[in-house]
Structure 1
């Protein structure tokens, strides 16, 4: 994980707006991006006639045997790289992917060749590359947009180009937006040569070229695959439960999903650098839902058994919910479930949120299946006042996202990723303060979009049958790059942590997209069975019996980060 920050502007002193930017705005952007890479930071600049090119990068060391300082420089070429290469390039555990990628880039002679190289690589990334031989700035994100990259295009009032992993909140001197993933981009700076008065505002469109990812068909990781449109037979068999004998096509598909998902987890956890004090290297954003529990169980296969794994479970003191519940632990079914978790002490009612309850249940299931593993169940309890105090900071980090729902989700991720909480020793009711040292956090995002886990998928089926459901799943895949990923990356990385999404490994995406819809999900069946049917079969096969029937619950409701005040009447899509 890194923070990257690039600017293209006139030379200092030739424009008062540029002077103001260099003096006041650029330092704030450097600070925002430095938080993403606490291990090293550096700036380098280069001149092209009357233009100033500035490259800044911070580094969070997660690959290679020794620290690497960015930007990468050589033969006039400069690379700011914020990414991980998990497939497509041979890398040993001692090699740094940014170094190896820069070596490969320096052998290329055109921007189109850069597109082809990156189209052969799997992993999340955002980058800015100056190709000296063509005087080109080439930049972009991976096809899913798993790493944030914001752009400010030159305007009359702010005549500079900015590309940055994170913004410095809502500054009037920057008009940031998420960079689209529909292609990579190139700026040909030679088109400004010989001009006495470069005007980036007028010339940006003429210099700017979209580099299509799709012309070369054999680039496995250049574009997202389409969702298969196979329709089921007329009398498609219904399964009654996960305990019955499954049709061969479902059993085989579950085996295939396990193979791809297990490999995706392995590539994301096996070579995380060791931490000096021996604490956990890996954490899981853990609500006790089926997605994160499956990832935790698969991670157990690839992390040495003597190492602990942190399960980060966040709960908010929500005055509105407490008032509605009479400031007591909810009665009925949920309370009865809590009594089955015999190893945990009495919890404060404020923090006995739905995700805490399911998290404790799945902790026990993981302990039964993996008794040799130390699972640190990190209770991240967020008092109301602490959430309110942090709100301005969170809004600044998630910018340019600014809806009520953005804030609810960002709050949960912000405190969970920070990892400051308490743990309980196994079999002992006492607690102790604990801060997670894990720099890599597994996130279950993507399973609902790929496997039909949302209520809107059932709604689409009820309205228009299998074809409508297929259309909805295609829409989910198409808009994955624009919904959560950039925002979530900015929030989690603000703590010097890196989110990794095994369900969004492009090999997993390609496998699932190619499956007929009725194998992935079956809305004819009830909740907790038909939604994400294939993942439920996989979880059940792994022994995660409770998790396999867990009903979907949104993070903001499970953690109680949504609508925390009594007068919180705004809907999720309203602007803050």
Structure 2
């Protein structure tokens, strides 16, 4: 799956008082039409860009019709509810396909249902990587529930080895509790009958996901994203300027052809229009309101199950050694014990994410094996570990694409490290064909690309976000060069051949630095306040990773028709790392390249990656040298950029066209 969206418009009043104080007072008294919409939102075009296998829409309508003989009742069909009203109205609903109205999908014989009062437009763009037969979304089951799901199920809910995640989830959701308790066990009439609630079911899923689900019998809309935010989901809450309620995997691009001051103004407005939906499970139960003369629904946020909630709180078993000898007196050979646990957890995580399913194997042309999985590859510690583990998990007949982006040709630090890394991988896995895909870019020639990536990173809006997003977007595109060597009688000839990676799965090392103290600020916090302050900073990083990194990165990678998978953010990997004493994870009394991410350096040695085990951390914006080129372009020089902390400068606060 590569994208989902929902637009709710018309006579519906969304109550956000449970999430935003005093929100109700911001809305007009009646919401019988969209109030001056800020944008003409073309979400279909934004999702279509991603190259999905299919893209479809289902529209859910609510209608009003007069029944003279029943003038005091308002019926809300599809929800089983009826309320007394001094109003001669009848409310029904119908489900319509994007192109065709199916006669058996409309539940009334009336001919005057042409003017719905409320419309819900569900849109699903499917990039199918699992299962044996193609599945298009949105799905509508026999109970008239509607599901659009962007994610993978790697555990918690059983999916047959040849099955499809979305179909499996749809069946499980149909069996969930549908009473008005909305997950509150104390008020639930279904729990004693063995039924689980929607929040309980979603809490069991291991893996990345974002979801929009209409539960028909309770007239409830469920939506949300996984506990760590590994799949993007943006939201526009209704406002006095634009009363629509929107959810989307990505914001649409502006129609401006050039990056001008007006485009910068558009981005400023667009950033205010959208926000990252915070991780969690939400519900809106729609009811007819006599007071407001429309449908109303209160947004509620639900709790995860206790096991997942504990993981999100990110409490480590042992933070501070009680005895100084606990961290200084450990024998060297014993350090491999926790590292072995991490290695096993990471191997299993990569195995789950790199499985080549039958529907992917159908992409093999003429019996030739292709590269089904690629790695965002800098040649650094994290990407080298993923490469070595992928080699162990993927049949040796398959090639592996290593995607490396540079804004300084062969001189960027990441390009130099990547070439050295490939040699080390060839040493430990000589039978594997490793494709180092060299993706070169010139920032001054990327005018239209920058404009497009600015829409992808929305609502992120700093130069650092743009630099990282652009580097990720180009790398995920996989359009570069391979260095091929051929032997002749007298010498080895080298030539660069044009190459585009067709791998649909992209492994990314996000989460390694946050969990293993890989950032410079971690060392600063440790010097300021020791182990406790270091732990608090790492926990903060993990609890805000959804907002600072993952939504942005998922949008930039998915735009290329690729699916980002994050092995370091597997639930089991996170759990194992939290069970290991902090001083085993990192030792920031040691120099850079030794003490930071200490446990991952030990994992690298267990994988026979001796050279990379001592490489210092280098972020993609610096390793690819896009930050340097961006500083020159937008601020005149690196020095000038550093004086104003260019990375954190908000793009729309400047009007130089970038």
TM-score strictly above 0.5? yes
Q: Does 1:441 align with 2:534?
A: no
The answer to whether structure 1 residue 353 and structure 2 residue 412 are counterparts is yes
Q: CA deviation at 1:36?
A: 3.4
The correspondence for 2:242, drawn from 132, 149, 158, is: 158
**Match 2:543 to one of 462, 478, 481:** 478
Residue 358 of structure 2 is aligned to residue 299 of structure 1: no
> With structure 2 as the length reference, what TM-score do the two structures score?
0.76
* Superposition deviation, residue 138 in structure 1: 0.6
- Which residue of structure 1 aligns with residue 332 of structure 2? 246
Partner of 1:341: none
Query: What is aligned with 2:40?
Result: 25
Instruction: State the Cα deviation string for residues 188-237 of structure 1 (Å, max 9, x = none).
Output: 112x35566338xxx56xx1111122xx4255898454233432143336
1:18-52: CA deviation from partner (whole Å, max 9, x where unpaired) = 7968xx724x2111122335100000011234321
Residues 459-478 of structure 1 mapped to structure 2, 5 A cutoff: 459-478=524-543
Which of the numbers 139, 144, 147 marks the counterpart of 1:72? 139
Unmatched 5+ stretches in structure 1? 318-349
Match of 2:647 in 1: 572
CA distance in 2, matches of 1:450, 1:66: 38
CA distance 1:481–1:20, change in 2 (3 Å):
closer
1:412 equivalent among 471, 481, 485: 471
Give the alignment partner of residue 50 of structure 2, picking from 22, 32, 36: 36
1:281 maps to 372
Partners of 1:116 and 1:219 within 8 A in 2: no
The worse-fitting range, judged by mean Cα deviation, of 517-526 and 45-54 is 45-54
What is aligned with 1:54? 121
Distance 1:381 1:101 in 2: 41
Q: Deviations over 1:170-191 (max 9, x none)?
A: 575881100011x31100112x
- For residue 425 of structure 1, give the secondary structure of its aligned residue in structure 2: strand
Against the structure 1 CA distance between its residues 105 and 222, is the aligned structure 2 distance closer, same or farther, given a 3 Å change threshold?
Answer: farther
Matches within 5 A, 1:63-462: 63-74=130-141, 75-110=143-178, 111-112=182-183, 113-169=197-253, 170=266, 175-181=273-279, 183-190=280-287, 192-194=288-290, 197-198=293-294, 207-213=298-304, 216-218=305-307, 223-236=312-325, 246-248=332-334, 250-272=335-357, 273-274=360-361, 275-277=363-365, 278-317=369-408, 350-426=409-485, 428-462=493-527
Residue 409 and residue 285 in structure 1: after superposition, are their counterparts in 2 closer, same or farther (change >3 A)?
A: same
SS of 1:402's partner is coil
Aligned-pair CA distance for 1:4: 0.5
Aligned residues: 527
Render the CA deviation track for 1:479-514: whole Å, top value 9, x for unaligned.
Answer: 222210000000000011011000000110111122
Q: CA deviation at 1:252?
A: 1.1
**How far 1:402 sits from its partner (Å)?**
0.6
Q: Which residue of 2 aligns with 1:539?
A: 604
- The answer for the alignment partner of 1:324 in structure 2 is none
> How far apart, CA to CA, are the structure 1 residues paired with 2:542 and 2:292?
46
**Whole-Å Cα distance in 1 between the matches of residues 605 and 485 of structure 2?**
25
Q: Which residue of 1 aligns with 2:95?
A: none
Specify the SS of the correspondent of 1:572: helix
1:363-415: per-residue Cα shift (whole Å, max 9, x none)? 00000100000000000011233333311011011111110110110111010
1:387/1:411 contact within 8 Å kept: no
- 3-state SS of the aligned residue for 1:301? helix
Matched position secondary structure for 2:629: coil
Residue 167 of structure 1 deviates from its aligned partner by 0.5
Give the aligned partner of residue 331 of structure 1. none
Runs of 4+ in 1 over 6 A off after TM superposition: 18-21, 237-240
Tell me how far apart the structure 2 counterparts of residues 311 and 175 of structure 1 sit (CA, whole Å).
37
Match of 1:556 in 2: 621
Contact residue 482 and residue 499 of structure 2 kept, 8 A: yes
Structure whose alpha-carbon radius of gyration is higher: 2
Looking at structure 2, the residues matched to 239 and 361 of structure 1 have their Cα atoms a distance apart, in angstroms, of 33
2:311, 2:509 → 1: CA distance?
Answer: 23
Q: Secondary structure at the match of 1:524?
A: coil
Structure 1 position 429, deviation (Å): 1.1
Q: TM-score, normalising length from structure 1?
A: 0.87
What does residue 556 of structure 2 align with?
Answer: 491
Q: Which moved more, 1:433-442 or 1:565-574?
A: 565-574
Distance 1:263 1:221, change over 3 A: farther
Aligned with 1:429: secondary structure? strand
Once residues 20 and 458 of structure 1 are traced to their aligned partners in structure 2, the CA distance between those partners, rounded to angstroms, is: 47
Give the drift of 1:453. 1.0
CA 124–221 in structure 1, closer or farther in 2 if over 3 Å, else same: farther
The residue that corresponds to 1:339 in the other structure is: none
In structure 2, the residue corresponding to 1:564 is in which secondary structure? helix
Structure 1 residue 65: Cα displacement? 1.0
Find out whether 1:3 has 2:3 as its counterpart: yes
CA separation of 1:220 and 1:463: change in aligned 2, threshold 3 A: closer
Deviation at 1:555, TM superposition (A): 0.7
Q: Tell me: CA distance 1:519–1:416, structure 2 relative to 1, closer, same or farther (3 Å).
A: same
Residue 103 of structure 2 is matched in structure 1 by none
Larger CA deviation: 384-393 vs 482-491: 384-393
Q: 1:106: how far off? A: 0.7
Distance 2:381 2:325 in 1: 26
Give the superposed CA RMSD. Answer: 2.3
Number of the residue aligned with 1:335: none
CA 1:463–1:247 in 2, change beyond 3 Å: closer, same or farther?
A: farther
* Preserved contact between residue 294 and residue 539 of structure 1 (Cα < 8 Å): yes
Q: After the TM superposition, which of the residue ranges 504-513 and 385-394 deviates more from structure 2?
A: 385-394
SS in structure 2 opposite 1:444? coil
Q: Secondary structure at the match of 2:451?
A: helix
